[in-house]
Amino acid sequence: MTAVATTVIRHPKERISKCSLRFLHDRAEMTFMRGHPDTRFDATGFLLLAVDAPPLSIEDQGRPLLLLDSTWRWLPQLDACVTGEPIKRSIPGGLRTAYPRVSKVFDDPTGGLASIEALYVARKLLGDDDPELLHGYHWKAEFLEIVANAGL
């Protein structure tokens, strides 16, 4: 299986030094963009990860992936950058994040994962099981255990 082409639109306030995807910038299949207010991305035909969408499945294989990288609070601003008709999909299985959340002002969705976690699971479900995506992720071992325990 070839690597799933993946576009990441990152909120401009996201600090790259703290971003869970920062170790993936040199990968050929990855494209990174900044989601400024005037940014527009035609996502027609892309799989767009969304918490409240139908679950991702192997039947979605062969499509490029779009990931919006921000805090949950800023996500609506990034969503406004997306035009066209993306295919919204969620991560199935009720996975929980290994990332220790500490927001005091905003509640994260129960099924919300760190961006790198969502990327890894989505690509795994699309037939591209590449644990190297998690290289440099501090909670890699814990998350891989969560995924294994979920039977994914």
What's the pTM value of the predicted model, to 2 decimals? 0.85
Single-letter amino acid code for the residue at 18: K
**Distance of alpha carbon 60 from alpha carbon 113, whole angstroms:** 20
Identify the H or E element spanning 7.
strand 6-10
Predicted pLDDT of residue 66: 95
* pLDDT tens track for 71-115: 767 777 878 889 999 999 998 877 777 665 554 454 544 556 888
The tokens describing 144, both together, are: 């891989």
**Distance of alpha carbon 16 from alpha carbon 21, whole angstroms:** 8
Predicted pLDDT of residue 101: 52
What angle in degrees, to the nearest 10, is found between the helix axes of 115-125 and 140-149?
40
Predicted pLDDT of residue 115: 87
Predicted pLDDT of residue 56: 92
Percent of the chain whose pLDDT exceeds 70:
85
Predicted pLDDT of residue 11: 74
List CB contacts of 22: < 8 A, sequence separation 6 or more.
16, 136
- Which one, of 70, 68, 55, 69, lies nearest residue 126 by Cα? 55
Predicted pLDDT of residue 106: 46
pLDDT at 20 over 80: no
Q: Average pLDDT in the 124-149 region?
A: 89
* pLDDT tens track for 35-55: 888 889 999 999 998 888 999
**Distance of alpha carbon 125 from alpha carbon 92, whole angstroms:** 9
Among the residue ranges 97-101, 126-130, 135-139, the one predicted with the least confidence is 97-101
List CB contacts of 11: < 8 A, sequence separation 6 or more.
35, 68, 69, 70, 71, 74, 75, 77, 78
Please tell me the total number of residues recorded for the chain in this structure. Answer: 152
